[in-house]
């Protein structure tokens, strides 16, 4: 065999060996996946990153390969895996987005561009905020951008120990505030749980270790503690004619820490785990199973939550109830069908995985009306400056889930603590701006009243209504606060312009100049443009604020 052909064959063998686990994982989910495209993506990424090292000392290519492996393990499509292999090439190598588009096509270029950070040299302090804004905008076109970003962050958290100590806590804090909530909003709980625990370990290593020790000790007795309850449940399910599998589901460490903090002494199995009932049947069988649970174990009053009739923002569907064990310990039981389970664990990834072909995948990743939180983000982000964007994003992604209803039965999801005013802005910014009150469950209520799950809310409006600065004292959601601030600023600008114009009218009248005639001729606009203002009202407003002197402006209208 000629030397060149032998070297090519050897190179191909090395690439296939490096990519074998990825190919195997992808083949199990996508038997007809384009392995040649994966091989080509890896070859390009390996060549471009050659010579670059991770902080661990490992070749850089190990990172994009690990990200692709995470995604393959969840069953993501070929296009996503190729984009994951190439996701750092435009950011960290001379490879341009145009070259990538030529080599791999528009779809992969869009995904890679979506996760590519903006240049800090060009964007300065705005880089982080604008990078996240870019991710949100890209995700509105293709949710796989966010999925790749989450897998990228997960692998970086897995290898965070190689970073300098002062960077670990900051990186983990940002992960908890901005990336973990995105995993939650996309319903990808398998990623959320691991990211939660890894970030927890980096931010509070001692608390993480203590929580891990307490949970492991509690779970050693899980079989004995849950055994009697599970026996009763099996008998009751059989009596009700429901087929279901019962599993003990441990809570992840960060969830336990949030629930109990440092009070971990004597942590019991029912505090460290829940029971999951996977029903082999239709949605209605979950309600029969819930009845079987309550027949077998005493329910805690007011602790049933129905996320089947009213799914969460992230498409999650299950029934949750709290019951008392035969030993007197309260614990949670989750009921869902076998068909609901993949979405409960993998969220949007389950929909992508089930899509099957290119057209169905496109529908699964773009323009989803069931992801109301993304529409809400897109609605307020454009009017928010970089300096405020990350704080707004953190607030909007914060935990809390309230499902209220319009009189027509439309579900309006809101964060905990939201008010009728927030509800109004969630319906439509114009409705919020004109809001003067509400009718909650048939009773008149002020705009400041807190909305609770299950409330039916009707918004009262006045065509002449306008946002008031006082509303900021009880508006909770970011969209409401952004629109209120914009409305207040707009009114202030209008008032300032009107005041400045009146002042100019009086001054010009004393010099026998008619401002209205000057405006009609276009003289006022010409003066405004000459002074660097885009509109006449901006110039008039500058008179009121003092940034433009009256004498300087008069000189433009009354030449000496």
3-class secondary-structure state, position 347: coil
CA atoms of 227 and 480, how far apart (whole Å): 49
**Strand 298-299, strand 457-461: pairing:** unpaired
Nearest to 297 by CA among 324, 332, 336: 324
Nearest to 30 by CA among 364, 353, 360: 353
**Strand 273-279, strand 330-337: pairing:** parallel
Question: Residue 147, exposed/middle/buried by CB under 10 A (0-12, 13-18, 19+)?
Answer: buried
Backbone angles phi, psi at 301, to 5 degrees: -60, 135
CB neighbourhood size of 560 (10 A): 3
Is 452 in contact with 402 (CB distance < 8 Å)?
yes
Strand order in the sheet with 457-461: 443-445, 435-440, 457-461
Nearest to 109 by CA among 140, 69, 142: 142
> What is the separation of C-alpha 374 from the centre of its chain, rounded to a whole number of angstroms?
7
Sign of torsion, CA 204 206 212 214? negative
Q: What is the dihedral of CA 221, 222, 223, 227, to 10 degrees?
A: 110
Is 511 in contact with 558 (CB distance < 8 Å)?
yes
Is 502 in contact with 543 (CB distance < 8 Å)?
no
Question: Alpha carbon of 132 to those of 257, 267, 368, 381, 520: distances in Å?
Answer: 28, 39, 20, 11, 45
CA atoms of 447 and 427, how far apart (whole Å): 14
Is 244 in contact with 280 (CB distance < 8 Å)?
yes
- Helix orientation angle between 106-115 and 97-104, rounded to the nearest 10 degrees: 140
Joined together, the tokens standing for residue 191 give: 């990623």
Joined together, the tokens standing for residue 116 give: 């590519």
Question: Alpha carbon of 309 to those of 183, 240, 454: distances in Å?
Answer: 23, 21, 11
3-class secondary-structure state, position 32: coil
Question: Residue 427, exposed/middle/buried by CB under 10 A (0-12, 13-18, 19+)?
Answer: middle
Backbone angles phi, psi at 187, to 5 degrees: 75, 15
Which residues have CB under 8 Å from 111's CB, separation 6+? Answer: 79, 80, 83, 87, 142, 144, 145, 148
CA atoms of 146 and 548, how far apart (whole Å): 46
Is 76 in contact with 60 (CB distance < 8 Å)?
no
Residues annotated as part of the active site: 91-92
């Amino acid at each position: 065999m000629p030397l060149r052909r032998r070297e090519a064959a050897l190179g191909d063998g090395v690439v296939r060996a490096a990519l074998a686990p990825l190919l195997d994982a992808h083949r199990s989910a996508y038997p007809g996946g384009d392995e040649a495209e994966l091989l080509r993506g890896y070859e390009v990424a390996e060549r471009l990153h050659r010579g670059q090292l991770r902080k661990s000392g490992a070749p850089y290519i190990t990172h994009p390969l690990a990200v692709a492996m995470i995604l393959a393990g969840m069953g993501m499509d070929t296009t996503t895996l190729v984009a994951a292999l190439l996701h750092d090439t435009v950011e960290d190598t001379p490879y341009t987005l145009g070259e990538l588009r030529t080599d791999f096509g528009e779809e992969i270029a869009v995904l890679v561009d979506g996760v590519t950070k903006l240049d800090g040299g060009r964007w300065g302090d705005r880089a982080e905020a604008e990078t996240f804004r870019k991710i949100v905008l890209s995700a509105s076109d293709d949710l796989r951008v966010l999925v790749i970003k989450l897998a990228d962050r997960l692998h970086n958290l897995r290898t965070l120990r190689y970073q300098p100590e002062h960077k670990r806590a900051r990186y983990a804090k940002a992960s908890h505030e901005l990336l973990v909530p995105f995993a939650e909003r996309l319903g990808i709980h398998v990623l959320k749980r691991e990211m939660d625990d890894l970030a927890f370990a980096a931010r509070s290593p001692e608390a993480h270790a203590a929580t891990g020790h307490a949970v492991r000790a509690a779970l050693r007795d899980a079989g004995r503690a849950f055994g009697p309850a599970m026996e009763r449940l099996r008998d009751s399910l059989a009596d009700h004619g429901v087929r279901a599998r019962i599993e003990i589901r441990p809570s992840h460490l960060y969830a336990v820490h949030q629930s109990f903090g440092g009070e971990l002494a004597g942590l019991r199995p029912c505090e460290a785990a829940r029971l999951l009932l996977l029903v082999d049947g239709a949605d209605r069988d979950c309600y029969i199973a819930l009845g079987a649970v309550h027949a077998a174990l005493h329910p805690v009053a007011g602790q049933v939550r129905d996320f089947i009739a009213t799914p969460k923002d992230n498409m999650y569907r299950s029934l949750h109830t709290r019951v008392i064990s035969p030993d007197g310990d309260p614990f949670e039981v989750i009921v869902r069908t076998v068909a609901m389970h993949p979405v409960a664990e993998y969220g949007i990834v389950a929909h992508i995985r089930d899509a099957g072909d290119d057209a169905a995948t496109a529908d699964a990743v773009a323009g989803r009306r069931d992801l109301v939180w993304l529409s809400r983000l897109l609605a307020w982000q454009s009017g928010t400056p970089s300096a405020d964007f990350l704080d707004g994003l953190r607030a909007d992604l914060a935990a809390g889930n309230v499902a209220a209803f319009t009189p027509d039965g439309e579900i309006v999801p809101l964060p905990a603590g939201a008010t009728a005013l927030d509800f109004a802005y969630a319906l439509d910014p114009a409705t919020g701006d004109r809001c003067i009150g509400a009718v909650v469950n048939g009773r008149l209520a002020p705009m400041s009243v807190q909305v609770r799950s299950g409330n039916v809310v009707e918004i009262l409006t006045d065509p002449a209504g306008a946002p008031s600065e006082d509303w900021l004292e009880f508006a909770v959601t970011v969209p409401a606060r952004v629109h209120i601030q914009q409305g207040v600023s707009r009114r202030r600008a209008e008032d300032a312009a009107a005041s400045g114009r009146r002042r100019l009218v009086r001054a010009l009248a004393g010099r026998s100049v008619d401002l209205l005639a000057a405006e009609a001729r276009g003289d006022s606009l010409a003066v405004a443009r000459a002074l660097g203002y885009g509109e006449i009202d901006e110039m008039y407003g500058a008179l009121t604020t003092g940034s433009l002197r009256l004498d300087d402006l008069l000189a433009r209208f009354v030449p000496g």
